[in-house]
Amino acid sequence: MNLKNINNIYFIGIGGIGMSALARYFKANKKLVVGYDKTPTEITDALMGLGIDVHFDDAVENIPVAFLKPEDTLVVYTPAIPKSHYELNYFKNNQFRVLKRSQVLGLITENTFCLAVAGTHGKTTTSSILGHLLYECDVEVTAFLGGVTENYNSNLILNGSKVSVVEADEFDRSFLTLSPNLACITSMDADHLDIYGEAEALKESFVEFTKRIKPKGKLFVKNGLPVKGITYGIEDDSDYSVQNIKIENGTYVFDVKTPKTVLENIQFNLPGRHNLSNALIALAMAVEYGCPYQQLANALASFKGVKRRFTYHIKTNDLVFIDDYAHHPEEINAVHQAVREMYPDKQVLAIFQPHLFSRTLDFADEFAKSLSQFDEVILLDIYPARELPIEGVTSDWLMGKVDNKNKQLVSKESLLDKVLKSKAQIILTIGAGDIGEEVQKIKKGLSVAS
């Protein structure tokens, strides 16, 4: 399919973070873009601000007349859309070209020099850093991101079309539609077992992804993963390795050993060893692409982060409020490590909203262990996303497994009151559901109280 010959792009689930990046891309390329989503959000507001029409009622009558011509319309949907969706079924039953988001991403990037970031954790931050590095090195790059970068206030970095940066998403095996020139795998921890059934099937899918790399392409892997490639790691003997780590005024300062040289006194402002690892692999991929060392060092120092990835909302000597997207036990562990490293003597309250009944069931013991590390724990009800409830799988059940005397199950309605009563100096909101919508309420309440 030649996307240049299609004028109209219709999105079903346009408010998704990955879908909205594609919508922005097509709008920037002078296509007529409209779409449906279930509810208004900041993302849909931003799209409408760009002149993209978005509606929120699933009804065929809401499809504009211009989009009723199968020969001139491409329909893009997300797997999160239910199979009973009226608009989706109308398009499928009337000879329209209907593709998943990942398939469209594959079409866009197949004729570019593609850098793909895969892994069960770290994709969004790593690809955001990588897109920023290439942009600052004047590369003609388009980066499709799974989060909103602080530097660009967008999930799309647009500076040309020769090079593309994408997140290679393992969910629904979406990354098998890509054909990258350079790819990395950050992690292969068990996840999405509602799709894969077992961890071994997930690992096999990552192996299949490595076979998608173009001839003469390169694969980078976190040291220790069961896949062969150029290795990277922290304070180890990897091909690319971070060495001599120091913290100066809340900033990491370190050296990077590459296969050819040592880059000294690199600076990076995001806390946590997991973010150091993300920065390292982004740097390594940019080095292999051919970017100059000094420009890369300057660019890395200027990276501000990704919204809802260890995002500071209050940062004073007496009180810190951080919001993070972590929704897997290993991600919660990474947040905990970062907080303890930056604030070793402070009391920490973690407010967690589990995401998906199936993930909560699959990793209940691991979630309990990761949450038990904090000084106080507040649990919200499970965010169902695309799922129906599973009998017996509740936040109350999960809380029973948490080994922490300062734990409680709280409704959203009473959350702020509980937060204000806490003596913790560090407050975290954690989760991938709609907990992000509580952030401004908590920030305002804390600011007034202080």
Active-site annotation, residues: 123-124, 167
Three-state secondary-structure class, residue 204: helix
Q: Give just the sign of the alpha carbon dihedral 361, 362, 368, 374.
A: negative
Tokens coding 140 = 């003609």
Half-sphere exposure of 11 (CA within 13 A, CB side): 33
Helix (H) or strand (E) holding 34: strand 32-36
- Contact present, 384 and 409 (Cβ < 8 Å): no
Give residues with Cβ within 8 angstroms of 261, minimum separation 6: 293
Question: Phi then psi for 5, rounded to 5 degrees?
Answer: -90, 0
In which order are the strands placed within the sheet that holds 218-222?
Answer: 154-158, 141-149, 163-168, 113-118, 182-185, 218-222, 230-234, 240-248, 251-257, 262-268
Q: Measured between alpha carbons, how far is residue 18 from residues 13, 100, 148 in Å?
A: 10, 11, 10
**Contact (CB, 8 A) for 430 and 355:** no
Measured from the Cβ of residue 315, the count of other Cβ atoms closer than 10 Å reads 10
The per-residue DSSP string of 229-283 comes to SEEEEESSS-SEEEEEEEEETTEEEEEEE-SS-EEEEEEE---SHHHHHHHHHHH
Where helices occur in 56-184 by DSSP H, the ranges are 86-92, 101-109, 123-136
